[in-house]
Amino acid sequence: MSKEVFRSHLSVEAEIVRALLEAHNLHARVSSTLAPGLFPLRFGGQSAFGVSVRDEHAGRAEALIASHLDEAAAAEVRRLSENVGPLEARIGYHFRDLGLLEHALTHRSRAHEDASGGVVDNESLEFLGDAVLGFVIADMLFQRFPTHSEGYKSKIKASIVSTASLARLALSIDLGRYVLLGRGEEKTGGRSKNAILADSFEALLAAIYLDGGVDAARAFVVAHFDPLIDSGGDRVAEASFTNDWKSELQEWLQAQGRGLPVYQVAAIEGPDHRRRFDVEVLAEGVSEGRAQGRSKKDAEQKAAKAALAKLRAAALQASDNSSGA
């Protein structure tokens, strides 16, 4: 049987106590009552983190905690406050549980290098943050564009929650500076990698949600994404977010009852470090667009954009001629 010897609303304090007991050969376990639904109406900060030991060790554990906790916990919370205080100021949110923020900033490379096994990476928080972000963005788009099609809203959502978009938002708050990386990832420039920045941004959102509830999470999302959604109305939104021209071209051709487009590399120019790809796109064997890019993918997107403009212009002209007749 086990007995709880310590309880706190700060996960960092519970982990400090666990480490203290383990250092004195007392096996301890941290458990949490933190189990809100995915999207509660409000999360009131009533979570608790308990530390338990075997019944026969409870007296010794309580004595150790009484003699060490106040000084150790205060020092750890002070360390965290000094390290992440500037980030809290940037995002406009002050954490009640700084341990959540530290957890959100811990990349798996740091956790893998910790021999004690006491460091947990942010991948679970990233998963939760992705869900919270998707929910809030979907609600924002539903409210902003009530008469637009599902496809239109889906394209906007896909663009603004893409890895590149999240990485740019992470850069805007200097998030990379605070991410906790392993030595190897640090040496390879992990602080500026889009994937790490995007994942950390989602984990940060999850930490805000768990610490302050859905209202705090929504406020954070609105502050960062509202300008992207509402940057000049429908026309600008459509121009800004419709950037997957290959998908657009394919959908347009299918709507016209035509076959799928085919992309061919017509030429590759320049030295290895400065190559230019010349790509042509064909629809039913007919060349409809051609463009150059620094990569094959870039050239294909540009060629698809050119083809789509050409085909839409031709369709509009045909429609005008038909109406005039």
Q: Cα–Cα distances in Å, from 224 out to 90, 123, 143, 182, 295?
A: 12, 22, 17, 28, 31
Which of 12-16, 204-208, 286-290, 293-297 has the lowest average pLDDT? 12-16
Q: Considering the domain boundaries, does residue 313 fall inside one?
A: yes
Name the residue range of residue 297's domain.
245-324
Q: Considering the domain boundaries, does residue 258 fall inside one?
A: yes
Residue 52's H or E segment, with its range, is: strand 49-54
Confidence of residue 39 (pLDDT cuts 50, 70, 90): very low
d(CA 263, CA 147): 35
Among 43-57, 64-78, 222-236, name the most confident range.
Answer: 43-57
276 with 260, same domain: the answer is yes
What is the identity of the amino acid at 42?
R
58 with 134, same domain: the answer is no
Residue 87's H or E segment, with its range, is: helix 58-91
The closest alpha carbon to 105, from 27, 55, 170, belongs to: 170
Helices and strands per DSSP (H, E), number in the chain: 13, 6
CATH code where residue 72 lies: 3.30.70.790
Output the CA angle 133-134-136, nearest 5 degrees. 65
CATH code where residue 142 lies: 1.10.1520.10
Residue 280's H or E segment, with its range, is: strand 276-283
65 with 171, same domain: the answer is no
- Tell me the per-residue pLDDT of 97-152, one tens digit each, with 9 for 90 and over: 888 888 898 898 888 877 655 668 889 999 999 999 999 999 999 998 888 888 77
CATH code where residue 268 lies: 3.30.160.20
The strand pairing partners of 276, in sequence order, are 269
**Considering 241, 269, 297, which residue would you say is the last residue of a domain?**
241
3-state secondary structure at position 99:
helix
Count: domains in the chain: 3
236 with 134, same domain: the answer is yes
**202 is annotated as an active-site residue:** yes
54 with 15, same domain: the answer is yes
- In this structure, what are the phi and psi dihedrals at residue 32, rounded to the nearest 5 degrees? -135, 145
Which is the catalytic residue, given 130, 280, 288, 300? 130
Q: Considering the domain boundaries, does residue 22 fall inside one?
A: yes
| CA-based end-to-end distance of the chain | 90
128 with 236, same domain: the answer is yes
What's the chain's average pLDDT? 81
78 with 48, same domain: the answer is yes
223 with 144, same domain: the answer is yes
The closest alpha carbon to 246, from 307, 162, 304, belongs to: 304
| Radius of gyration for the alpha carbons in the chain, expressed in angstroms and rounded | 27
The closest alpha carbon to 297, from 281, 273, 268, 277, belongs to: 277
Which is the catalytic residue, given 202, 248, 280, 288? 202
Q: Considering the domain boundaries, does residue 104 fall inside one?
A: no
252 with 230, same domain: the answer is no
The number of CA neighbours under 13 Å toward the Cβ of 315 is 10
**Considering 188, 210, 241, which residue would you say is the last residue of a domain?**
241
3-state secondary structure at position 129:
helix
**Considering 25, 60, 83, which residue would you say is the last residue of a domain?**
83
135 with 225, same domain: the answer is yes
**In percent, how much of the chain has pLDDT > 70?**
82
Six token digits for residue 237: 């939104």
d(CA 292, CA 305): 12
213 with 263, same domain: the answer is no
Q: Considering the domain boundaries, does residue 15 fall inside one?
A: yes
177 with 213, same domain: the answer is yes
- Tell me the per-residue pLDDT of 218-267, one tens digit each, with 9 for 90 and over: 999 999 998 888 653 343 344 344 456 888 888 888 888 888 999 999 99
pLDDT at 35: 44
Q: 134 with 126: CB under 8 angstroms?
A: no
Q: 248 with 304: CB under 8 angstroms?
A: yes
What DSSP state is assigned to residue 161?
T
Please check the confidence at residue 166 and state whether its pLDDT lies above 60: yes
Q: Considering the domain boundaries, does residue 96 fall inside one?
A: no
Quote the pTM value. 0.55
**76 is annotated as an active-site residue:** no
Q: Considering the domain boundaries, does residue 265 fall inside one?
A: yes
Residues 6+ apart with CB under 8 A from 268: 275, 276, 277, 278
Strand order in the sheet with 2-8: 2-8, 49-54, 29-32
